[in-house]
Amino acid sequence: MPAVFDRHYVKRLDGPNVKKGKNKKDLADQVIADIRQFKNANNCDRMVVVWAGSTEIFTTEAPCHKSLAAFEKGLVDSDPAIASSMIYAYAAIRMGIPYANAAPNLSADVPALMELAAHTKSPMAGKDMKTGQTLIKTIIAPALAGLDAADQAGVYVEPSPLDPDGDSKQKRIYFESSLRIQPHGGETVREVKSINGACEILIDWPHGKRGPFYQSAREVVQAALEGKATPAQAREAFAALAAHAGILIGDSGS
């Protein structure tokens, strides 16, 4: 059956088998009809919905996530803060069906959908599954691939104002788009624009919080500084570490 899908939330995928509707409320109603039809056709007594779609872009709680009324208005207005996975979550929870989120994105993890779940007595679980896949896919595999990528790195090196001829080893290697982090306990938001910037933050990373995610990110960032991994791989590894640490507040390139 056609999916609720929008490339805005998953940039690297596309496909023709998608639902059309006048707004996101219409799409949610179509998912509700699909679930009902599946239940009847398969004579199910009970159902569980598990979101296992591709990871969506990093988002944070928006005004339309704050209450059920705001969310339902957001559906009618096709609010961009309502991602595809949230439409599936809304449909399942509206029907009182248990909903589990196997992905690391926001999905049902917002007050509006928790409020709905309390009304419909729909159990909720998630997020992400702890199989180790995320660590492999976002950090270790790119690091291994990066060892072979030096010649194809496509690195954009901007001359430093201190070194206009670009001779010194202090060249900054910029990401295609920056990341924003907000370290715990601080109000300052830092914009991480380059491999060098990420490296500086990793050097300052609190020693007590340096787990396997940190070690892997540091290796990829170091490899990128040496031209053995691409800026995109360094950016992805750093973003994964920052998201894991709960300090990533903006990823303009997802």
Ligand X SMILES: NC(=O)c1ccc[n+]([C@@H]2O[C@H](COP(=O)([O-])OP(=O)(O)OC[C@H]3O[C@@H](n4cnc5c(N)ncnc54)[C@H](O)[C@@H]3O)[C@@H](O)[C@H]2O)c1
The stretch near ligand X (CB under 6 A) out of 53-61, 74-82, 147-155, 181-189 is: 53-61
4 versus 220: smaller Cβ distance to ligand X:
4
Q: What is the smallest separation between the CB atom of 147 and ligand X, expressed in angstroms? A: 24
Among 4, 28, 89, 234, binds ligand X (CB under 6 A): 4
CB of 16 to ligand X, least distance (A): 12
Is 133 an interacting residue with respect to ligand X (CB under 6 A)? yes
Q: How far is CA 102 from CA 60, 85, 91, 127, 178, in A?
A: 18, 11, 17, 6, 27
Question: CA angle, 189 as apex, 113 and 237 as ends, to 5°?
Answer: 75
Q: Is 160 among the residues that bind ligand X (CB under 6 A)?
A: no
The distance of closest approach from Cβ of residue 27 to ligand X in the complex, given in angstroms and rounded to an integer, is 10
Segment contacting ligand X (CB under 6 A): 5-13, 60-68, 139-147, 211-219?
Answer: 5-13
The 67-86 site mask, x for binding ligand X (CB under 6 A), equals: -----------------x--
Distance CA 169, CA 150 (A): 17
Closest CA to 133 of 50, 222, 55: 55
Nearer to ligand X, 85 or 122 (CB): 85
32-40, 63-71, 97-105, 195-203 -> range binding ligand X (CB under 6 A): 97-105
Q: What is the largest CA-CA distance in the chain?
A: 72
Among 40, 42, 43, 131, binds ligand X (CB under 6 A): 131
Q: Which of 32, 81, 95, 102 binds ligand X (CB under 6 A)?
A: 102
Q: Does 233 bind ligand X (CB under 6 A)?
A: no
If one asks whether residue 3 binds ligand X (CB under 6 A), the answer comes out as: yes
Residue among 54, 178, 182, 222 that touches ligand X (CB under 6 A): 54
Annotate each residue in 8-37 with x if it binds ligand X (CB under 6 A) or - if it does not, as one string: --x--x------------------------
Minimum CB–partner distance for residue 157 and ligand X (Å): 32
| Residues of the shown chain interacting with ligand X in the complex, contacts defined by CB under 6 A | 3-5, 10, 13, 52-55, 84, 102-104, 128-129, 131, 133-134
